[in-house]
Structures are given as structure tokens and as C-alpha cells.
């Protein structure tokens, strides 16, 4: 009889735990996900900038290979957001070194918000 009782208690506990875990969580009225994300400190903006950098990685590679390709304004905007508002080390997730990140930041800080200009020759 003992195994039957233990099994019955186990089934009751399992059903009770399952029922309470699947219930709706009470949320405060006016709960907004967007407002909560804004309090994180621009995390969404950093991720969006990182995704933008991913789409302009070809431009950045050409920038380092031939030193003549200008970076677009969207690409420079994303670099500025990451290096000024987020962690500059996020550039390493795309495979760029700290030195390359500093060169990108310096180039984009020097470029006016207008059209892209040719990059300066690289020193090595």
C-alpha cells in the first residue's frame, strides 16, 4: 500500500504544480514592454547598430584592404552608436580588433554627417 500512496501523492503534487505554473501572471495595468526596454539603457539601440554593422561589414573590410573606400553614413552612424553609447568591444563580435575599431571610430568621427568621403591612407 505504501507505493500506491506515494504514487498518488506524487501525481497530486505534479498536477498541482503544473496547474499553478501555467496560470497567468498578474501584470500591473499599463505594463509596457517598450518602456521597460527603454530603462535598460539603450540596449535595443546597441543591438540595432550591431545589426547595421553586420550589413555593412563588406564596406568596412574594403576600407581596411584598399584604404580608398568611403564608409556610408548609415555604417558610420552605427559605428558611432556602438563606440560612443555602447561598448566599443562589441566590434570584436564582428571580428575586428581594438586597433581596427579605433580606426573606424576615428574615421567616422572625422566625417561630416553628409556624403561619405574617401578614407585616408593607412599606416600599416
Query: Mind listing the pLDDT tens digit for each residue in 74-104?
Result: 999 999 998 888 887 888 877 888 888 888 8
Query: Mind listing the pLDDT tens digit for each residue in 20-59?
Result: 666 666 656 656 666 655 555 567 888 888 888 888 888 8
User: What pTM value is reported for the model?
Assistant: 0.57
Query: Mind listing the pLDDT tens digit for each residue in 16-29?
Result: 777 666 666 665 66
pLDDT at 73 over 60: yes
Query: Mind listing the pLDDT tens digit for each residue in 109-119?
Result: 887 765 444 45
For residues 121 and 97, the model is more confident at 97
pLDDT at 120 over 60: no
- What are the contacts of 49-55 at 24+ separation with CB within 8 A? 49/77, 49/78, 49/79, 49/81, 49/82, 49/86, 50/78, 50/82, 50/86, 50/90, 50/93, 50/94, 52/77, 52/78, 53/78, 53/79, 53/82, 53/91, 53/94, 54/94
pLDDT of residue 116: 47
Structural domain spans, the chain = 67-113
pLDDT of residue 77: 92
pLDDT of residue 89: 80
Amino acid at each position: 500500500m505504501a507505493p500506491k500512496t506515494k504514487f498518488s501523492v506524487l501525481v497530486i503534487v505534479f498536477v498541482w504544480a503544473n496547474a499553478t505554473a501555467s496560470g497567468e501572471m498578474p501584470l500591473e495595468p499599463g505594463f509596457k514592454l517598450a518602456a521597460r526596454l527603454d530603462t535598460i539603457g539603450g540596449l535595443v539601440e546597441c543591438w540595432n547598430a550591431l545589426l547595421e554593422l553586420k550589413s555593412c561589414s563588406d564596406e568596412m573590410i574594403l576600407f581596411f584592404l584598399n584604404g580608398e573606400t568611403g564608409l556610408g553614413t548609415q555604417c558610420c552612424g552605427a559605428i558611432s552608436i556602438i563606440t560612443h553609447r555602447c561598448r566599443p568591444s562589441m566590434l570584436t563580435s564582428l571580428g575586428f580588433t581594438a586597433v581596427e575599431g579605433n580606426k573606424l571610430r576615428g574615421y567616422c568621427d572625422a566625417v561630416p554627417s553628409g556624403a561619405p568621403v574617401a578614407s585616408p591612407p593607412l599606416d600599416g
